[in-house]
Amino acid sequence: MKAAPSPQADAVPDSRAWRVLGSSTFAFTICFAVWMMFAILGIPLKQQLHLTDTEFGLVAAMPVLTGSLARVPLGIWTDRFGGRIVFFLTMIATVVPIWLVTYATQLWQFLVLGLFVGFAGASFSVGTPYVARWFPKSRQGFAMGIFGAGNSGAALNKFVAPVLIIAAGSWTIVPKVYSVAMLVTALLFWVFSASNPAHRVTTSTSVASQMRVLADPRVLRYSQYYSVVFGGYVGLSLWMPQYYVNQYGFGIEQAAFLAACFSLPGGVLRAIGGWLSDRYGAYRTTWAVMWVALGCFFLLSYPPTDFVIHSAHGPLSLHISTGPVFYTVLMFIVGIAMAVGKASVFKFIGDEYTDNIGAVSGVVGLAGGLAGFILPILFGLLVDLTGVRTTCFMLMFGATVVSLLFMHFSFRPEAVAHGRAVLQRKEQSEIATLKETSHH
């Protein structure tokens, strides 16, 4: 049975829609900043606990694991109970674990608390269907893009956390401030958001029926795309501050600021991605995104290299490397591409899964989040094994190639079928015209 009628079908959104969108976007921004907390905290922790690059990746990525796994059930609960209550309770549940990070002293304690902090990231699969149902289909891409701009919380974290650490002289101030911020945000969200019982899936609809759509190959396809544009965004957001520190020798404040040049456009410009997807279609937008990212990752993958050419006049030495300025410019472009791609993938979902958007967005978000969890660990492992820090971009280049191939061969049969249908309609029209002419 389908959900009760929603504003999707209306030409004009509910008068409360923009208030819901604003409060949800603000709340998600704070949640995302908390979710990315260990991208900055991990730098002093790596020195304090004498962590390897792999262990650093594990600490930074641990919240991403829970934030990913929780997305499916939270998305389903949003369909059934409404986004407002689920979003509020999700934020409240993280307040105490965030505070307790201050008192952790051992690696296992940070890993365990990171799992609980990670629920903040699962709020994405709550806010996406919650916001989408307040808007007509023609505006859903833009609305979900604005909400998804809360990804800029990753940049907010890179601005705020280093300032707090330097001002207090210790990293322990950051979890305390973030815990209070989460509590205040949850209360503000509850005051300014709204509920509409018509947006809930009817109680006679079972969880099994909601989950049945997940066997659809399209869901797996969109999960794969999202694992690159969102998983790559999360993984690189967690990895880049320490990359600047270790590759270029910057201090934590400089490293965090430069890393924000990727995180900020990667979050804020998601709204533009929603607009582009509404205007040009999800497929064309996603296809362009993948090619832009591929070109940037190719250039970023090249490690610092020295060549010696034995010429007729003696040896010639050449040095090739990506300096911090060129590196930052390339990552800025990647951030823009990923922002657009994150919105375009969810435009697919908004178009094709009107009544089950919570469950589907939960699964797609799960795929992206799991990629964001695995990537920092793989980045660290590759550095520990090879000693080459640009291996992280080599991995992202390979993942993008796979995504492009998958996208090409997935949509090709559909394009051929569409072309045949258009040709068939044209032939039928010509036959009808000839019959009409001969009749006269």
pLDDT (tens digit, 9 = 90+) per residue, 381-391? 999 999 999 99
- The whole-number average pLDDT for the span 290-297 is 95
What percent of the chain shows pLDDT beyond 70? 86
Q: Which has more confidence, 109 or 198?
A: 109
Which among 188, 137, 110 is positioned nearest to 347, based on CA atoms? 137
With both helix axes pointing from N to C terminus, report the angle between 153-168 and 252-268 in degrees, rounded to the nearest 10: 160
The one-letter code for the residue type at 369 is G
Architecture of the domain defined by 7-406? Up-down Bundle (1.20)
Contacts of 221 (CB under 8 A, 6+ apart): 406, 407, 410
- Choose the most confident range, by mean pLDDT, from 82-86, 94-98, 238-242: 94-98
End-to-end Cα, the chain, rounded Å:
51
Q: Which has more confidence, 1 or 43?
A: 43
**What pLDDT sits at residue 353?**
76
Q: Which two tokens stand for residue 93?
A: 């549940």
Q: What is the pLDDT of residues 148-195, one digit of tens each?
A: 888 888 889 999 999 999 999 899 999 999 999 999 999 999 999 988
Instruction: Indicate the pTM of the whole model.
Output: 0.76
Half-sphere exposure (CA, 13 Å, Cβ side) for 217?
5
317: β partners: 308
Residue 28, burial from CB neighbour count under 10 angstroms (0-12, 13-18, 19+): buried
Q: What is the pLDDT of residues 341-368, one digit of tens each?
A: 988 887 888 777 766 776 787 788 788 8
Q: Which two tokens stand for residue 157?
A: 């974290």
Q: Which has more confidence, 291 or 13?
A: 291
Contacts of 401 (CB under 8 A, 6+ apart): 294
What percent of the chain shows pLDDT beyond 90? 45
Q: What is the pLDDT of residues 382-435, one digit of tens each?
A: 999 999 999 999 999 999 998 898 888 876 555 444 445 545 655 666 666 666
- Cα–Cα dist 69/439, whole Å: 66
**What pLDDT sits at residue 9?**
44
- Cα–Cα dist 94/117, whole Å: 6
* Residue spans per domain, the chain: 7-406
Which among 116, 371, 115 is positioned nearest to 238, based on CA atoms? 371
Q: What is the pLDDT of residues 133-160, one digit of tens each?
A: 888 877 777 788 788 888 888 889 999 9
**What pLDDT sits at residue 428?**
64
**What pLDDT sits at residue 141?**
75
133 with 6: CB under 8 angstroms? yes
Q: What is the pLDDT of residues 45-76, one digit of tens each?
A: 999 999 999 999 999 999 999 988 888 788 88
- Choose the most confident range, by mean pLDDT, from 91-95, 277-281, 282-286, 403-407: 91-95
